[in-house]
Structure 1
Amino acid sequence: MDLNSDVGESFGSWTMGDDESIMRVVSSANVACGFHAGDPVVARATCAAAAREGVTVGAHVAYRDLAGFGRRFMDVSPAELTNDVIYQIGALQAMAAAAGTTVRYVKPHGALYNTIAKHEQQARAVVEAIRTVDESLPILVLPGSVIQREAEAAGLRAVVEAFADRAYNADGSLVSRRMEGSVIHDPEAIAARVVQMATDSTVETVDGQTITVDAESVCVHGDTPGAVAIATAVRAALEEAGVPVTSFL
């Protein structure tokens, strides 16, 4: 099972997460590209940390929304969104090259990630951006989403992703962060969920149902309080269950 984490989200003198520590635990790093978080200094340093630890680098693309941390829907045109995503991937490719590594995949962030799970025009815009830059780049997606369908139809590899610390609705979508209980904080509970995902391909929903989640990658959020402890517990539990942690590439 691949473990991915959102990293590189510090900005200027403002710091978010412990990227150096979490990089020793995960196998893939979703590096912010400057639209929802991050800046050139942070991006290069984060890519360098990933290179040192042998962690695969992905472009964590988002709406242009620093103030809202990319968690607000933006009603942009498909052409604008395509160009924004091209720009972000290209910027991170340059920083990764400067740090001695390469961008190997794409993961949309926040509101963009949730929107393209259902919004056809924006999903197609993101697919077009990736195809324009490098059609060999996989994209991380929610299972059964519009973006999964559009990516696969265009010949891109869609990598199904699950979330270690996020609550699920019965339809497989993530519980809104505006709702109480949307984020799980207990490392032991999170670790047990991920082992269930990896070994049984199932997860319990917020209303107590069990749904199928056949994922190749699991996200452990780098901005969750106690993120390093959570990621460490998840990796240890997976290895104890006989599930190796390795990149999906």
Structure 2
Amino acid sequence: MNAVIDLNADLGEGFGVWSLGEDLALLDIVTSANVACGFHAGDPLIIRRTCAAAVDRGVAIGAQVSYRDLAGFGRREMDVDPEELCAEVLYQISAVDGIARAMGGEVTYVKPHGALYNRACRDVVQAEAVVAAVADYIPSAGRPLPVLTLPGSVLHEIAAGYDVPTVTESFADRAYTPAGTLVSRREPGAVLHDPDEVAARAVRMALEGTVTAVDGTEVRIAPRSVCVHGDTPGAVVLAEAVRKALTEAGVTLESFA
């Protein structure tokens, strides 16, 4: 069975003098870069450098939009007025796309980050705020940007109503619940660190479209993109193991964008 899979990672997540992750090394591995937009991490200089490096390597650039929560790294759920959230998402896409264009590239997709990602998977109101912002931002291609989300999320249904495309994503380095959602980071074992285990999961996700949940049940996910978190300790080793395993399994690595 031949499969085509995008390999994405969250990048540009430093801030000022504080650095996080090994962006340049990961950009040599992944096919898509989820660039922090300055709300959970990132700043203008980091965004510029990350976009320039992605363009140099032919890596697709995505805007990783978030709650405005630098102190909590965007991992604290917030009740934001839908109009305000829509405006903040639009602001973030515009900022990263403007810098990406100055570097010779452009934003080709959107991925919510952290708490906003999980909230938009189940909350109709917040999912619609995110989708409405994406629908409002029409890039040079003349059609709305695709949005990465979990399979079965409410965001898929909301996006269809706005003619915004969605791309199904899975997480090689995260534990899953039987419902197909991610185990909370507050729970032990929510983040996986063993390269062999993470790589084997990625291959199953790509070829079989399934993942084993924490209770041992098999969950159908059928992703087009697989994520390895850039802020996970040992992220480069994990990403290298995933890329090698996918390639050896006959999977074609190619950005969906």
SS in 2 for 1:206: coil
User: Which portions of structure 1, spanning 4 or more consecutive aligned residues, are displaced by more than 4 angstroms?
Assistant: none
Q: d(CA) in 2 for partners of 1:24 and 1:237? A: 16
Q: d(CA) in 1 for partners of 2:159 and 2:116? A: 15
Deviation at 1:136, TM superposition (A): 2.2
Percent of aligned positions with the same letter in both sequences?
A: 56
Structure 1 residue 88 corresponds to structure 2 residue 92: yes
The amino acid that maps onto 2:22 is D
Deviation at 1:149, TM superposition (A): 1.1
Equivalent position of 1:182 in the other structure:
190
Q: d(CA) in 1 for partners of 2:211 and 2:160? A: 24
SS in 2 for 1:117: helix
SS in 1 for 2:159: helix
Equivalent position of 1:192 in the other structure:
200
1:175-195 Cα offsets, whole Å, 9 max, x none, are 000000000000000000000
TM-score by length of 2: 0.96
1:103-131 Cα offsets, whole Å, 9 max, x none, are 00000000000001111111011111000
Count of matched residue pairs? 249
Structure 1 residue 155 corresponds to structure 2 residue 163: yes
Provide structure 2 residue ranges, at least 5 long, that are not aligned to the other structure.
Answer: none
TM-score by length of 1: 0.99
Q: d(CA) in 2 for partners of 1:83 and 1:234? A: 36
SS in 2 for 1:116: helix
1:22-77 Cα offsets, whole Å, 9 max, x none, are 00000000000000000000000000010011000000000000000000111111
Contact 2:137 2:144 in 1 (8 A): no
Structure 1 residue 31 corresponds to structure 2 residue 35: yes
Contact 2:6 2:255 in 1 (8 A): yes
Structure 1 residue 108 corresponds to structure 2 residue 116: no
| The 10-residue stretch of structure 1 (145-154 or 15-24) with the greater mean CA deviation from structure 2 | 145-154
Q: CA RMSD in A?
A: 0.6
Structure 1 residue 237 corresponds to structure 2 residue 241: no
Q: d(CA) in 2 for partners of 1:72 and 1:128? A: 22
